[in-house]
Amino acid sequence: MTALGTPIQGVTLYSFTRAFHGREYDLDQLIRKTAAEGFGPGLEIIGFSSFRGFPDIDDHFAGRFSDLIDEVGLVRTSLAVNADIGLRPDKLMDQDELIAYMRRQIAAAAKLGFPIARVQISLTPDSMEALAPIAEEYGVTLALEVHADQYASHPRILALRDRYEQVGSPFLGFTMDWGATVTGFAPSLLEAYRRRGASEELLAAVVALWDEYYEQGPPADQADHGQRFGRFIGLSHQYGRPDLGIDLGINGTGLFGPARVDDWLEIMPWVKHVHGKFFGIDENGREPSVPVADLITLLVDNGYSGAVSSEYEGWHWNHWQSPFEIIRAEQVIQRAAAEAAGSRMITDAAEARRTLDTHLSHAVRA
């Protein structure tokens, strides 16, 4: 019988992008606020959006960053890195170019003290296999993000899982993103469209279409995904708001994935990190579109003791509420769910560091 997991509470600074872009906080101030508000101890950062010149990190900056993290009592969990195979205007990167590009970012993660690098779906099974010895060289676990419109039982994800099993490296795994297992169109986004003048008829039709897709389950392939995307665009034209079409398609299919919670069991032994993706908290203190409690229960029941980075995605459209208050409320749900499942969320930095080290040192449980 699997022992209950004790997930580590944490946050990604991505949740506060609006405040960062608005220059309300610089990076140091945002890290200090994260610690002071008790959103940690786990800290996730996106490399390219937070570190000037990334992935080139000089020794002085790396030392100052490490000192700051130690001073405020946070624990580095994951550095989000990019697999931008389309950087050049004339052609996609070939395999050798991609591996070299990823090596620089993995080296930066190690220099900054992050034990995990979140990587992206652009990386194929062949790429991940080629990166395994580089990850081992730097001591950085590569956790490929399973993000809508992908999902755990998607053929591309299963192909990666099967290759991981063949390679047998504990430095390869996944980042579970809760956006793949959403249960409803986010009310905060509907409110944002309402504030942009969308009619109630259009919004009702959007919700009905998303609910239809939820009943059908996630798209079987990219063609199915494309058809769903197109239907959201069609609704925008039908109701006289063609300007909202692409936006509705991106959000309806690319942020709100309709897979079921237990779909994550397909890859659970390989989950190294979790993006606690959510979109808002209602007046009753609940997340109305992401089953946060069920997802935490799944993690606890399956022995997961890695970090959960609360990832508030509603900042893209919600400019009328504080992301800090919203993160605080979502983490209350997480802690309550862990306790209800017979465990707890780790909030002590020293315990979190020890637990994360153990979590990442374990070989994959096939």
Question: How far from 196 is each of 200, 238, 244, 285, 320, CA to CA, in Å?
Answer: 12, 17, 9, 26, 13
CA dihedral (350, 116, 292, 165) positive or negative: negative
How many CA atoms lie within 13 Å of 357's alpha carbon, on the beta-carbon side? Answer: 8
Among 363, 359, 362, 361, residue whose Cα is nearest residue 10: 359
Catalytic residue among 147, 154, 275, 359: 147
Tell how far CA 175 is from the center of its chain. Answer: 7
Among 96, 251, 99, 281, residue whose Cα is nearest residue 107: 99
Gap between the Cα atoms of 238 and 186, Å rounded: 22
Among 258, 266, 51, 42, residue whose Cα is nearest residue 176: 266
DSSP string, 28-67: HHHHHHHHHTT--SEEEEEHHHHSTTTT---HHHHHHHHH
Bridge partner list, 273: 175
- Residue reference for tokens 């610089």: 26
Backbone angles phi, psi at 313, to 5 degrees: -95, -10
Gap between the Cα atoms of 196 and 190, Å rounded: 10
Gap between the Cα atoms of 362 and 236, Å rounded: 49
How many CA atoms lie within 13 Å of 260's alpha carbon, on the beta-carbon side? Answer: 7
- Residue reference for tokens 């872009």: 21
147 is catalytic: yes
Gap between the Cα atoms of 257 and 217, Å rounded: 9
Bridge partner list, 36: none
Which residues are catalytically annotated?
A: 147
